[in-house]
Structure 1
């Protein structure tokens, strides 16, 4: 059994999902998470922790360090790019979580209430939007694939698995993971453009 969600923050109140896109998103999230308590989905959720910020930043930093030690410029460059993209994605997603709050699907399913609004909160069950696992997984996968196109398929497959698991386990609604993935992709692209600008010779 999950622990009861702490009381609502002072600035929040229980609401009904608005009609339209939000209602569709909530309904889809509840439907996709209907098996969240089954052993297979729980195991998938545990495995998806490879997409946590601690795991991915450790992987990125480790890749960078290994590249430096091995004097492998390509590997070191990949690790640095993964690290920078992951950090930028993390900063953006954290900023959004501190700006808005939204309860996770498992709160609605297990405790019967849904809340969203301004501003953000540090209470985990109210940090559904956006998905941090999705943001960092997408950022790091895109960075790795850019450096090593030959691993593009498995890198994207792992990231997709992590992102999908967040919905199936009831941790995020579909819109949360889509927003997170978009943040990760944009962060990696921004870091690559910035690095490209630094590499471009002056005229």
Structure 2
């Protein structure tokens, strides 16, 4: 494993990149469910002073492909940003099963997208991060968060993720691979690229 990297150092590097979506640098934090994407994206967004959009903000049924939510982001956020205009969307409240408040997405130097399929081949991404962890740990994290009664859905979802990532080759194309099992104060543990 490579030496740890601080979030401020990564933020400085991202800030030096050219914009990828109109005047905005899109940073995608991708990887399978339960790998640590949300934690990583939160820490990076604080270092960047940037907004995060989570795939969980959008309603996607368990029986839909993992990438289904992204069309909403393209239409409501990325399209307007590419044209230099603010975007926005209504956040979905999974507990209540309804749309909640509107989330405005202003034109800013950086926007972080977090979730499965954010680093997809067709996304206007300036920098792609892949976060990973062992399958059983990811499942344990997901069930601790969502409830053990959802284990069948989670196992189905994980198979669908595997298919998506294999077809998209997401991990292979990532700019940074992160070990989602290691907690580093103020930073993270990158994984050395494997050829």
- In which range does the TM-score fall when normalised by the shorter chain? under 0.3
Normalising by structure 2, report the TM-score: 0.26
Larger fraction in helix: 1
Larger fraction in strand: 2
Q: Which has the larger radius of gyration?
A: 1
Normalising by structure 1, report the TM-score: 0.25
